[in-house]
Amino acid sequence: MPSKLDIILTLDNIDFIISVMPHQFLPPLLKKIRNIVDPSCRGISLIKGMDFDEVNKRPVLISQSIENIMSEDRSTKFSCGVLMGANVADEVAKMQICESTLASDFENVDGVDINERTRLIFHSPTFRVQHVKDVAGAEVSGALKNVIALGAGMIDGLDHLGGNTKAALLRVGLKEMISFCRVFFEGVRQDTFLESCGMADLITTCYGGRNRKCAEEYTRRRAMGLNRHWSTHDCESLWKQVETELLNGQKLQGTLACKEAYMVIDSRGLLDSFPLISVIYDIAFRGAPVDRIVDGIMVNEVHRSHL
């Protein structure tokens, strides 16, 4: 475990920070380093999740939380972008060709395009990076696609549903991701969802990745219980068991993101406007029958609330 001195020596005068860690551990660390780094320092977050403002009942971007904490007691504002995309980790490690999206809106410095300079830090022959300025659209997509992937895994675990049902889930899921962004954040661009951080990441995550895999296993183990009543405690315990046995120390992101997204839409009375996210939550944490996943897909869109 690095000591405070190790952190100081490592970060002294650096001008670029990449955040890749569970976001609940960020605030204490950032408070330690914000006065150590160079005043011109900027950041990129690879963290997939959301914070929640309980007073205003709104989601808060992790990148915005990083900016707020890092800007305290500093003469200059700290700016943070995100890197999100269809990047299953083991395939990236094998140097298989993939894409990602850098979302940032850094100011130019002395005529230098800092967004492009940042993009080139990540870009390589096998890791292709495009740039957009829509941080909110890219970041929220990175969090919510893991929620939709839970639904995809549930379909896979049921066996009697196939590719057509899964395709319908992806379509409805993408629409709910876009609606969520538009309801809670300004300046979200429609074309962001056609980038790697949007549709491509959603497809990849719903056909591979840990969230889909664990949700499939969660569904199969639920089926072993037949007509057993599943309490919230039972569901939580099963997720933890599946995570421990399947992920070799890695952590599920979709279950936490599902709770965060549900809390946001429930607090604003918008559950009827997000039927897929709502039913995924009910199955995952309230013990609703897994077959109900189709309820989130088959809602008559004429009757959806207009967002």
Q: Which residues are catalytic?
A: 145
First-residue to last-residue Cα distance in the chain:
47
H or E segment to which residue 168 belongs: helix 163-184
Separation CA 87–CA 59 (nearest Å): 24
CA torsion 83-88-90-91 (nearest 10°) is -100
Separation CA 40–CA 46 (nearest Å): 20
- Tell which residue, 234, 207, 208, has the closest CA to residue 221: 234
H or E segment to which residue 246 belongs: helix 232-247
- What's the alpha-carbon Rg for the chain, to the nearest Å? 20
With H, G, I as helix, E, B as strand and everything else as coil, classify residue 102: strand
Separation CA 151–CA 172 (nearest Å): 11
H or E segment to which residue 98 belongs: strand 98-103
How wide is the angle at C-alpha 249 spanned by C-alphas 262 and 238, nearest 5°? 50
How wide is the angle at C-alpha 234 spanned by C-alphas 237 and 272, nearest 5°? 105
Copy the structure tokens of residue 209.
């990745």
- Tell which residue, 191, 66, 195, has the closest CA to residue 142: 195
Q: How far is CA 9 from CA 4, 16, 33, 70, 188, in A?
A: 9, 15, 11, 18, 39
